[in-house]
Amino acid sequence: MPNLLGEASGLMAFVRTVEAGSFSAAARDLETTPSAVSKSVSRLERKIGTRLFLRTTRALTLTQDGQAFFERVAPLLKELDSSDEAIASRSAPSGRLRVSMPGEFAPMLLPGLFTRFAAAYPDLHLDVGLTDRFVDLVREDYDVVLRAGAPTQGDLIVRPLAELPMVIVASKPFAKTWGAQASDDLARLPFARYVSNGVVAPVRLADGTSFVPAGRVDCDSGFAMIQAAMSGLGAAYLLRCLVAAELETGALVDLAPHRELPSLPFNALHAYGRTAPLRVRLFCDFVASEAKRLATM
């Protein structure tokens, strides 16, 4: 295997090209020319003895070897890029902090993030993305991603933040019609279902069993599920913190208060290894504190 310690410019050019999608975009990020980026990548390819990109006049496509190389190298460069902050960890954090979180958490987390956290660290530039999509943390250049549920992305550092209670809710008319059956057999109820990539999320019970709910309303967000449940179109299996206000006002009711449901892990994920930048550590500390409140809602 060739020694790549002297190929820092080529490695950076390669990773930036993958993230940006073209030599031209990578050149803008690196403040150089597309020709210089292309030559650096070509030199790296000769060094390792394989093609990283397939080049045509219209497209630049990552090869299978290129994908494997990127997944190995990109996290190492991220860690190297942040190593200076590990030395100066007592200084105030600065620079860009790019985070992603599910949209449903925005009303609960963004007010504190944009007031207390932003005020405490005025030199940070906050870049916040809201999506239920499982973003590619490295390729899309996120510092940290917040996700509810068991993490499925390998090689990432996972910081547990909280265990969030689940609940099965419905409108009062729905509960009146289906209440007896809810206590007898939840699996026979119609649900407003959460569907991701064509797969219906199961309802999990505390005894380890689960079932795939039936129903005529499929949603890709908690907000849509809440609206469907309030309209009487089905029960909804949701994080309790998402419907705390509706439960308090009576717009929704707990359909199975005597059935135990497992909590859902809430985690922060990043690709910095053991030397996460100070800005990432402080953000995770802040969200962990906020998550304790969500767990009690």
207-239 residue pLDDT tens: 899 999 999 999 999 999 999 999 999 999 999
Residue type, 237: Y
Closest CA to 288 of 131, 168, 144: 144
Closest CA to 44 of 81, 13, 78: 13
Instruction: Confirm whether pTM is higher than 0.75.
Output: no
What's the average model confidence in pLDDT over 287-292? 93
DSSP string, the chain: ----TT-HHHHHHHHHHHHHSSHHHHHHHHTS-HHHHHHHHHHHHHHHTS-SEEE-SS-EEE-HHHHHHHHHHHHHHHHHHTHHHHHTTTSPP-EEEEEEE-GGGHHHHHHHIIIIIHHH-TTEEEEEEE-SS---TTTTT-SEEEEES----TTSEEEEEEEE-EEEEE-HHHHHHHHHHHHH-GGGSEEEEEEETTEEPPEE-TTS-EE--EEEEEESSHHHHHHHHHTTS-BEEEEGGGGHHHHHHTSSEES-TTS----EEEEEEES-TT---HHHHHHHHHHHHHHHHHHT-
What percent of the chain is predicted at pLDDT more than 70?
A: 93
Domain boundary among 64, 81, 98: 81
pLDDT > 90? residue 117: yes
Task: For 80-108, write each residue's pLDDT tens digit.
Answer: 766 655 555 556 788 899 999 999 999 99
Q: Is residue 26 located within the same domain as residue 52?
A: yes
How far is Cα 91 from Cα 113, in angstroms, rounded to an integer?
Answer: 20
Which residue carries 């279902």 as its tokens?
193
Q: Is residue 188 located within the same domain as residue 136?
A: no
Q: Is residue 285 located within the same domain as residue 236?
A: no
What's the average model confidence in pLDDT over 18-39? 85
Kindly state whether residue 100 falls inside one of the protein's structural domains: yes
Which residue carries 């135990």 as its tokens?
260
Q: Is residue 113 located within the same domain as residue 235?
A: no
Kindly state whether residue 188 falls inside one of the protein's structural domains: yes
Q: Using N-to-C axis directions, what is the helix angle for 34-48 and 23-30, rounded to 10°?
A: 110
Tokens in use for 60? 């630049």
Q: Is residue 181 located within the same domain as residue 247?
A: yes
Q: Are 103 and 131 in contact (CB under 8 A)?
A: yes
Q: Is residue 212 located within the same domain as residue 246?
A: yes
Give the CATH number, domain containing residue 173: 3.40.190.10
Kindly state whether residue 33 falls inside one of the protein's structural domains: yes
The domain total for the chain is 3
Domain boundary among 16, 51, 81: 81
Task: For 132-183, write each residue's pLDDT tens digit.
Answer: 888 888 888 899 999 998 876 667 889 999 999 999 999 999 999 987 667 6
How far is Cα 75 from Cα 142, in angstroms, rounded to an integer?
Answer: 11
pLDDT > 80? residue 62: yes
Range of the domain at 254: 166-262
Polymer length in residues for the chain: 297
Q: Is residue 145 located within the same domain as residue 127?
A: yes
Kindly state whether residue 1 falls inside one of the protein's structural domains: no
Kindly state whether residue 192 falls inside one of the protein's structural domains: yes
Kindly state whether residue 2 falls inside one of the protein's structural domains: no
Give the CATH number, domain containing residue 63: 1.10.10.10
Q: Are 158 and 269 in contact (CB under 8 A)?
A: yes
Kindly state whether residue 52 falls inside one of the protein's structural domains: yes
Q: Is residue 77 located within the same domain as residue 205?
A: no
How far is Cα 41 from Cα 43, in angstroms, rounded to an integer?
Answer: 5
Q: What pLDDT was estimated at residue 83?
A: 61
Residue type, 243: V
Q: Is residue 172 located within the same domain as residue 245?
A: yes
Q: Is residue 258 located within the same domain as residue 270?
A: no
The residue that leads in pLDDT, 58 or 178, is 178
Q: Is residue 14 located within the same domain as residue 56?
A: yes
pLDDT > 90? residue 35: no
Q: Is residue 176 located within the same domain as residue 146?
A: no
How far is Cα 114 from Cα 265, in angstroms, rounded to an integer?
Answer: 24
Kindly state whether residue 3 falls inside one of the protein's structural domains: no
Domain boundary among 42, 57, 81: 81
